[in-house]
A and B are shown apart, each in its own frame.
Chain A
Amino acid sequence: MFDSELSIHCIHSMYSGINISQTDARPMYLQIMEQIRARIVAGDWPSGKELPSIRALAAALSVSVITIKRAYLDLESEGVIVTRHGKGSFVADVNGLAGELQEEKLDEHLAAAAGIGQQLGLTEEELATRLRRALRNLDRK
């Protein structure tokens, strides 16, 4: 295991961008999954890249091993990463995975918007108008 030879502070600095907050409403394992997914989607963690071992990441983030394990298991069931027994976990080599994840995210946001729209009592047309307005604002920026 290459990770165990590195000092704890070396590992810390490698993963210092990943921040787990205990005051965040979302559970720790979800935060970890999101941050890993974000890096994969952005391309910082390309297909085939080896993920840190569960224990190394746990030590780097000062988060329990069981939480990291859970995050990795769920990421694997989503198909985002692949675990090879005895070898480690790797970013899944699936084309268009980034795009898939982004589309899932879009659907989530749209569902939330639809829910709020309903609460406000907006009609389908009113909601669509607002979406178009948001797109135009993006273009201007």
Chain B
Amino acid sequence: MTQTKLIEMRNVRKAFRFFTLEDLSLDLEPGQIMGFVGPNGAGKSTTIHLMTGLLTPDAGEIRVLGHAMPEAQALAKRDIGFVSDQMRLFGHATFGWHMKFVSSIYPGWDAQYAKTLVKRFNLRPEQNVRSLSSGEHVKAVLLLALARRPRLLILDEPTSGLDPVARHELLTEFMDVLRHEDRSILFSSHNTVDVERISDRITFIDRGRMVDSSDKEDFLERWRRVQLQLPAGATLPDLPHIVSRVDDGQFVTITTNRYSEDLLAFLGNGVRQVQRMSLEEIFVANVMYHRELRGQ
């Protein structure tokens, strides 16, 4: 099986008038799902547009499926399925027309799978694209991408605006893609519950910079919220890896990003509770922490 990374970004920089993406490096291995998480305006869409050749970087290198971007984008896009929630199909045509259109361009089109997905996503080929709701529109674009069975799927907010049933259907199809160890998915999403469930790796981005990138299980193991009750007058020793601390009388809540048995022992008898953190909580705490570090 090929070991070449599906996406490689090295020290990429892209400057706009009011926003700059700075020093962004990112890798996507084959057979992996990467969740791309960040607040609004952090630069997720910009990064994705750089990956798909719609933007040219001011500095740094981008390679997707081994092709330099944006120069070799025509070649790369043969095996990339790019879907964004802003994408719209041709208004004058039916969904069926689009399926014929896409199937005639891409040799990898799986007609059987397409038929299955049409039923599963509850779409009608004879329906004019203009009359689709925004959720149906996204499902239609996703179907066109999935049925091609591309090696790489790049998705910008694929489940935004979708009802829970549709989301569940989509996640199932994404995981189906991952049955192949040479296929990967990169998706940006605000839905941290879904990201937490299916991602192998998670990258956090904030204000144009990558904040953190690691295996999902690693994040879930390293981050904890510890509640302590300190006897009157006692103070906590100076501790490393404390991301935040909240004092409420005798009760202190600390958040750590490097939890370990040693740390627990170090904290001593005052520990009342150790809580795991959801990805959403980690996301917020991590972003706040890094903003503080950067003096923002």
Q: Which of A24-67 contact B (CB under 8 A)?
A: 25, 27-29, 55-56, 58-59, 62-67
Pick the contact of B198: A12, A64, A70 (CB < 8 A).
A64
| B193 within 8 A of partner (CB) | yes
A75 CB, nearest partner CB in chain B, Å? 15
**A70 vs B218: C-alpha distance when bound (angstroms):** 11
| A3 within 8 A of partner (CB) | yes
Q: A56-B179, A70-B217 are in contact. Are A62 and B198 (CB under 8 A)?
A: yes
**A16 vs B180: C-alpha distance when bound (angstroms):** 21
Q: Give the residue among B175, B197, B199, B220 with the most A Cβ atoms within 10 A.
A: B175
B227 CB, nearest partner CB in chain A, Å? 15
Residues of A within 8 A of B197 (CB): 22, 28, 62-64
Residues of A within 8 A of B216 (CB): 64, 66-67
- Asked if residues A66 and B215 are in contact (CB atoms below 8 Å), the reply is yes
Q: A27-B220, A67-B216 are in contact. Are A59 and B176 (CB under 8 A)?
A: yes
B27 CB, nearest partner CB in chain A, Å? 15
Residues of A within 8 A of B53 (CB): none
**A20 vs B144: C-alpha distance when bound (angstroms):** 30
Residues of B within 8 A of A28 (CB): 197
Binary per-residue interface labels of chain B (168-209) against chain A in the complex, 1 for a CB within 8 Å, 0 otherwise: 100111011011110000000000010011111100000000
**A28 vs B199: C-alpha distance when bound (angstroms):** 12
- Asked if residues B178 and A59 are in contact (CB atoms below 8 Å), the reply is yes
Residues of B within 8 A of A58 (CB): 175, 178-179
Q: A27-B220, A59-B178, A70-B217 are in contact. Are A64 and B200 (CB under 8 A)?
A: yes
| B33 within 8 A of partner (CB) | yes
Pick the contact of B199: A3, A56, A59, A64 (CB < 8 A).
A64
Pick the contact of A27: B179, B200, B276 (CB < 8 A).
B276
| A14 within 8 A of partner (CB) | no
- Asked if residues B172 and A12 are in contact (CB atoms below 8 Å), the reply is yes
| A8 within 8 A of partner (CB) | yes
Q: Closest residue to B120 on the A side, CB-wise?
A: A9
Residues of A within 8 A of B180 (CB): 4, 55
Residues of A within 8 A of B31 (CB): 55, 65
**A27 vs B259: C-alpha distance when bound (angstroms):** 15
B128 CB, nearest partner CB in chain A, Å? 30
Q: Closest residue to B218 on the A side, CB-wise?
A: A66
- Asked if residues A59 and B179 are in contact (CB atoms below 8 Å), the reply is yes
Q: Given A55-B181, A62-B175, A65-B33, 12 more contacts at CB 8 Å? A: A8-B176, A8-B179, A29-B217, A58-B179, A62-B198, A63-B175, A63-B197, A64-B197, A64-B198, A64-B200, A65-B32, A67-B217
* Interface CB pairs A-B, < 8 A, 9: A3-B179, A8-B176, A22-B197, A25-B276, A29-B217, A55-B180, A64-B199, A64-B200, A66-B201
Interface residues of A (CB under 8 A from B): 3-4, 8, 12, 22, 25, 27-29, 55-56, 58-59, 62-67, 70
